[in-house]
Amino acid sequence: MHIKEEKVERHVLAVLVDNEAGILARIAGMFTARGYNIESLTVADISADHAISRITIATNGPPHVIEQIIAQLDRLVPVHSVRDLTEAGPHVQRELALVKVSGKGENRIEAMRLADVYRARVVDATTESFVFEITGAPDKIQTFVGLMREVGLVEVGRTGVVAIGRGPDAA
Amino acid sequence: MIMELKVAEKSGAEILVQTLLDLGVDTVFGYPGGAVLPIYDALYDHPKIKHILVRHEQAATHAAEGYARSTGKPGVVLVTSGPGATNAVTGITDALMDSIPMVVITGQVATNLIGSDAFQEADTVGITRHCTKHNYLVKQPSDLAGVLTEAFHIATQGRPGPVVVDIPKNVQVAEAEFRSHNGKINPRYQPQIDGDFKAINEAAEMIMQAKAPILYTGGGIINSGPKASETLCQLAELLGAPVTSTLMGLGAFSASSEQWLGMLGMHGTFEANMAMNRADLVVCLGARFDDRITGRIDAFSPNSKKIHVDIDRSSVNKTIRVDLPVIGDVGRVMEQLLAVLKGRKFNAPDYEEWWARIKGWRATNCLAYPESKTEIMPQEAIRKLWEATHERDPIITTEVGQHQMWAAQHFDFEKPNKWLTSGGLGTMGYGLPAAIGAQLGDPDALVIDIAGEASIQMNIQELGTASQYRLPVKIFILNNEYMGMVRQWQELTYESRYSNSYSDSLPDFIKLAESYGWTGILIEDPSDLEAGIKKMIETDGPVLVDCRVAKLANCFPMIPSGAAHTDMLLTPEDVKGTMDDNAKALV
């Protein structure tokens, strides 16, 4: 007997929740308990009175699983709303990364050149290292980090994706 | 001059007890311990709340479930931190799976000790996060009244379920101003009650076009309240369609009705499963297409349009794709549907061809069982129990296993809230504490736990609880000296290799019962069956019946795991004794 795997698609969800203790564990735990995937998850308080947080979850699964993920999120008591940005249409996805490279000579010059092409900013420099700050869609970050590997990547920190729908209306 | 109104300060424990009283709680199932001593001390001054001292915290949760399921009111549990809370986890999970309203109050170590591996500390909120509808850790006594009020609201509204409120010991002792929260409902949890009008109209349209419709009902109708069962009867009457039900929904529709097909699913009737398979319209009312119901997913009711009425959106399209979901309270939605159908002057066709086919399936007489003069057949014991008691509208609880399925098949229910069983989680040890809870909810009712000799031992210590509170609970053990359902599966799937399914070293149940002050009755011979049951009913106080039944009887009909509704095993002769790995991998 072999275990079959289904084809998956990537979806980005925006979830508004009460900003209360344990909310992240509740959301993340629901994903593990029901066998769903989390590609990335970001959370921050977004309201003036600090009562509401926005969680952006990049997940993947077959369409019927994505439908279940949304319904399961929505039934959690502290969850106010769940919006599937991928399903809703055009939206902007952004991620920030801090990328440290070290090296001398040609590698150092090449790192600088590539950073320029990718519009990464230098936020720290020594005679043998740079820290770049880069923002953009996840695949742009992915490509940039890949290039940096070839010219002396030391470490990288990524925020995970945040996303928002295009146009004048709120999700 | 305006006087500042001073509100008296109370301890957290007093606030808790006062809030329970405000919320109308009169019965609490619990067990004391270090981290709840302040609450127990507060209870000492409040005789209006009846505290039922169980013998194990798991039993407190099942008793609360039995109380809730039979009365419609939420069950309330009070246990200590650490082992008190972890022992309650099984019953909390059971309540989640079967949508039982329950509030569990757990003690916790003082806030300054949380995380220090203190004595009897467990991360109760973490442990119960996945087996509750919602849970709380209360860190200030001033939050207690509000949290408890919301906890009861969440437990009882929408799809009911268990809510845990974890209260550190210093929060029980510390004082805060107390204002009653009675009637103040938190706006953040407001489930949809009325069905969408457009969807109701569409449902009516689908019903009006159907030639072979079937109503598939579930525990949601029981949860919606007795009125929903009445509405179901009216809807069924208007439609003239056959009605089947899940295990959890038994009693919502009268078993004596001509339209009743019996339970569906793994141990359901042949006619119910065939009708589901051949129907052109399935109207699912407060059920969730559980795997015990569907059998093989891709062969489940392949030619039907499906309407799914459920209060929980996540139940829709979880396992079976449906054509029309209607989100709302099933009782309310049925009322709306009735109004629309009547408004359109719907006059149901007599579905002559459909009923003729159903008649053919009924003719297999699938619940027939071999007769015996030498052994008591377990099915016969249930039939006789029904004959002797049904006029008294008994409340029946069960444990889990063969006896549970035989009870579901052979005990005919006419009314809701009379059938208490562990469906989703399948928890052995549920029946006795649930019977205790039900008896407390209705002291005059005849409450019978139909049990197996293996299951009953999982919470046998509760014999003492029934004795202490003078509860005349009856236990009817179908004793076949096997974990019968395990043995049956080993016979069907593993060539009768009976690995660890024999109930060795059984106690003398009669002596055991007597040692707790119960009456014990032994029934060994078929000729003694009726007299034994009669004696059980006529004996005052709690009675345990040890009914020795045929040891190797199996529960039929049965859909083997991984099979379709049309592939039912009707008799032992249909059994092959082996299964492929794909089927073995299914539960």
Domain count across chain A: 2
Separation in Å, CA B515 to CA A41, B461, B506, B510: 59, 11, 16, 9
Confirm whether A96 is domain-assigned. yes
Domain of residue A158 covers: 91-164
Which contiguous run of DSSP H or E holds residue B201?
helix B197-209
My answer on whether A66 and A96 are in the same domain is: no
Q: Which of A35, A66, A88 is the last residue of a domain?
A: A88
Per-residue pLDDT at B180: 77
Look at residue B295 and give its three-state secondary structure: coil
- Residue where a domain terminates, one of A29, A58, A88: A88
Q: Quick check: is A1 in a domain? A: no
Q: How far is CA B409 from CA B209, B263, B296, B365, B555, in A?
A: 32, 7, 22, 12, 10
CB contact under 8 A, B189 and A67: no
For the residues B26-39, what does the mean pLDDT come to?
98
B-chain residues near A74 (CB < 8 A):
313-314
Answer whether residue A42 is part of any domain.
Answer: yes
Task: Give the separation between CA B376 and CA B510, rounded to whole angstroms.
Answer: 18
> Taking the model in full, what pTM does it have?
0.95
- pLDDT tens sequence across B326-385: 999 999 999 999 999 999 999 999 999 999 999 999 999 999 999 999 999 999 999 999
pLDDT, tens digit, 9 for 90 and up, residues A15-45: 999 999 999 999 999 999 999 999 999 999 9
Average pLDDT score, chain B: 96
- Give the residue carrying structure tokens 């972890």: B86
A124 part of a folded domain: yes
Is A111 in the same domain as A130? yes
Is B8:B30 a contact under the CB 8 Å cutoff? no
Residues of B in contact with A25 (CB under 8 A): 126, 129
In terms of domains, do A73 and A59 share one?
yes
Confidence of residue B6 (pLDDT cuts 50, 70, 90): low
Query: Which pLDDT score is estimated for B4?
Result: 57
Q: What is the pLDDT of residue B182?
A: 64
Active-site residue, B380 included:
no
Give dist(CA B35, CA A33) in Å, integer. 29
List, in sequence order, every residue forming a beta bridge with B547; answer none if it has no partner: B478, B523
CB contact under 8 A, A74 and B313: yes
Q: Are residues A17 and A46 in the same domain?
A: yes
HSE-up (13 A, CA, CB side) for residue A48: 0
Give the up-direction half-sphere exposure of residue B83: CA atoms within 13 A in the CB hemisphere: 7
Residue ranges of alpha helices (H) inside B295-445 are: 330-343, 352-362, 378-389, 402-410, 431-441
- Candidates A24, A77, A79, A81: best to mutate against B (most CBs of B within 10 A) is A77
A84 with A103, same domain: the answer is no
Q: Are residues A22 and A75 in the same domain?
A: yes
Known catalytic residue at B418: no
In a domain, A169, yes or no: no
B134 φ/ψ angles, rounded to the nearest 5 degrees = -160, 155
Residues A112, A154 within the same domain: yes
In total, chain B counts a number of residues equal to 587
What distance in Å separates the CA atoms of residue A136 and residue A144, rounded to the nearest whole number? 10
A154 shares a domain with A103 = yes
- Give the residue ranges of DSSP H helices in B37-107: 37-43, 57-71, 83-97
Q: Say if CB A41 and CB A163 are below 8 A apart.
A: no
Q: Are residues A84 and A14 in the same domain?
A: yes
Q: Are residues A128 and A79 in the same domain?
A: no
Distance separating alpha carbons of residues B434 and B399, to the nearest angstrom: 9
Q: Does some domain include residue A144?
A: yes
CATH of the domain at A48: 3.30.70.260
Using the 3D structure, point to which of A32, A62, A88 is the last residue of a domain.
Answer: A88
Does residue A119 belong to any structural domain of this protein? yes
Q: Residue range B418-423: average pLDDT?
A: 98
CB contact under 8 A, B314 and A75: yes
Whether residue A4 is contained in a domain is answered as no
CATH code of A104's domain? 3.30.70.1150
Active-site residue, B50 included:
no
Give residue-wise pLDDT tens across range A72-92: 999 999 999 999 999 999 999
Is the bond preceding residue B557 a cis peptide, omega within 30 degrees? Answer: yes
B471 with B492: CB under 8 angstroms?
A: no
| pLDDT at B586 > cutoff 80 | no
One domain, residues A98 and A28: no
Q: Which pairs with CB-CB distance under 8 Å and at least 24 residues apart come from B558-562? A: B558/B266, B558/B267, B558/B492, B559/B265, B559/B266, B559/B267, B559/B268, B559/B273, B559/B295, B560/B492, B561/B493, B561/B586, B561/B587, B562/B295, B562/B296, B562/B586
